[in-house]
Structure 1
Amino acid sequence: MTQTTTERLFSFEEYLTYDDGTDSRYELVDGKLERMNPPTFRHLLISDFIQDNFKAEINRLSLPWLCFREAGVRTGWRKSRLPDVYVVTAEQVIEFLDESAVCQSAPILVVEVVSPDSVKRDYRYKRSEYAALEIPEYWIVDPIESKITILLLSEGLYEEKEFSGSQQIVSATFPEIALTVEQVLAAGNLG
């Protein structure tokens, strides 16, 4: 469960430099800091697998893109999220190289891996924030429901397609990527 600080509202600039002396990670939601629980190992393994596949595809196609894990994305005036994985152009990062790793403009693609405490946040709140930011493609990887939902932005709203089992994922950003839901979710298993 996430915890929200309520002592005062933070600006985006204050959020970028906030340090409570711990290793806690926070998202900024309407000026309030929401402490994020550490991810599960399954969550990390799935995120790593996706990032590795995205990086391989970026390199294979020699695209001027970068793929990051758990870096931030500014989603509004007093809002910033910490997606599990996202893809941006190198140009989006170059002027912020020595600043906090929070992308100031819409990534090309964002991925969230659902955890028991993030279901509503990933399916509802982040969906509306990412659509408002005009992120073209948003993946919701749900190991709880054994499915992956791909949301593609169309006229300001996301159109969704669910994939499960041995279905190959269809991505607009990476149309040649050959991944099934089973392969992605299996990355979260050991043995």
Structure 2
Amino acid sequence: MYLSDIHTHSIASGHGTTCTISDMAKAASKKGLKLLGISDHGPGTLASGTSSYFRSLPFYPRKRFGIDILYGVELNILDSAGHTDLSDELLNNLDYAIISMHRQNYRSGSVSQNTEAYINAMKHPAVKILGHCDDTHFPVDYETLARAALRENVIFEINEASLAPGGYRGDTRAN
């Protein structure tokens, strides 16, 4: 049984779902979850949440259908310096941030450049999770990344796509 899911996308992410936050909380409640994290894509993703959307999240209800709600963002890493697509002002008012590399926002570099990009991005205090860093399109040095994540108190995400050899991220099982 799962107690929480904190990498979820509502209709505000602009892809794949037509669910509102209330719809998602209701479904989470029916599944017996205790905690739901809403982490819509940052504004760098086509048709995703705008700055005003993320500015309003801290004012949303913290409990819906008996489920505790956290409000975060899945940030797009933009470059090897670790820049992301949401301002510090907005990030500092959210509960957490996931940092991820997406092909439309980050041009994959060498293993060391990609690793450096993750490490630099995870230094922001709002960042708590490394999102799908097993993606074969963005090779990284996992030992170096794991040591940096430990220092920064950031966790690795492993989701169902991480274990799907035929997925769009490639065969990520070894990663």
Q: TM-score, normalised on structure 2? A: 0.36
Task: Give me the TM-score of the superposition, normalised by structure 1.
Answer: 0.33
Structure 1 or 2: larger strand share? 1
